[in-house]
Amino acid sequence: MASSTTGEKKILTLKGGDNEEFILEESLVLQSELLKNMVKEERVSSIPLPSIKSKTLVKIIEYLKKHAELTPSNKEEFKNFEKEFVNVVLEELLDITVAVNYLKINGLLEFCCQAVADRIKDKSVEAVRKIFRIESDFTPEEESEFRKETPEAFEGDLDDTTN
C-alpha cells in the first residue's frame, strides 16, 4: 500500500478502524470531499477514520488510485475495474457504500448504490430482510394485510445469497 516519497508530493496517513495505517499521496484523497476539506482547512498529515474497517479502506484506496490514473485511453479498462470492484459479497459492498457516503466520493457513491440496487432487484421481501438483516416490526395483522395486498412480494426470488 505505502508509496515512496517522490519530489515534493505531500504524503498523508489514513488510520483505519483497527489502527492500521495507510500512507498515500495527498492528491489522491482530494477525490473525497470530506478529506479534501480536512486537508485544506487544517493542514493535517494524519487522519483517523475509526468508523471504517481497514479492509474497506484498502478497497477504497485501490479505487482512488485507479480513478486518478483514468485517461480517455484506458476508459474501457477502468469500466472493467469498476465492475470487479463491486463484485464482492453484499455485506462488504454495503460497508464500502456507507464509507464512501461518509467520505463523500460522489462518483463512486452513485456506482455503489446502483450496484446494491442491482443486487436486490426482484428479491422477495423476506430475502431483502435477510440481506439487510432486518427483523419485521409489523404487527401480525399488518403483515398479513401486506401478504394479502401484494402476495407476489412474498413469492418472488427467495434467494438471499448475494455473492
Q: Is 64 helix (H, G, I), strand (E, B) or coil?
A: helix
**Interface segment toward another protein; rule CB under 8 A; list 30-38, 42-50, 57-65, 113-121:** 113-121
- Cell output for 7: 519530489
Residues 6+ apart with CB under 8 A from 133: none
Question: 71: how many CB neighbours lie within 10 A of its CB?
Answer: 8
Q: Is 111 helix (H, G, I), strand (E, B) or coil?
A: helix
> Does residue number 148 form part of the binding site for another protein (CB under 8 A)?
no
> Does residue number 153 form part of the binding site for another protein (CB under 8 A)?
yes
Considering the complex, state which of residue 44 and residue 113 has its C-beta at the smaller distance from another protein. 113
> Does residue number 13 form part of the binding site for another protein (CB under 8 A)?
no
**Interface segment toward another protein; rule CB under 8 A; list 16-24, 31-39, 53-61, 142-150:** 142-150
CB of 115 to another protein, least distance (A): 9
**Interface segment toward another protein; rule CB under 8 A; list 4-12, 37-45, 62-70, 129-137:** 129-137
Q: Half-sphere exposure of 132 toward its Cβ, with a 13 Å CA cutoff?
A: 13
CA separation for the pair 158, 122 (Å, rounded):
9
With 0-12 CB in 10 A as exposed, 13-18 as middle and 19+ as buried, what is 14?
A: buried
Candidates 37, 113, 158, 159; binder of another protein (CB under 8 A) is: 113
CB of 124 to another protein, least distance (A): 8
In the beta sheet, which residues pair with residue 22? Answer: 14
Site residues (CB under 8 A) for another protein? 91, 94, 97-98, 101, 109-110, 113-114, 116-117, 120-122, 125, 128-129, 132-138, 142-143, 145-147, 150, 152-154, 156
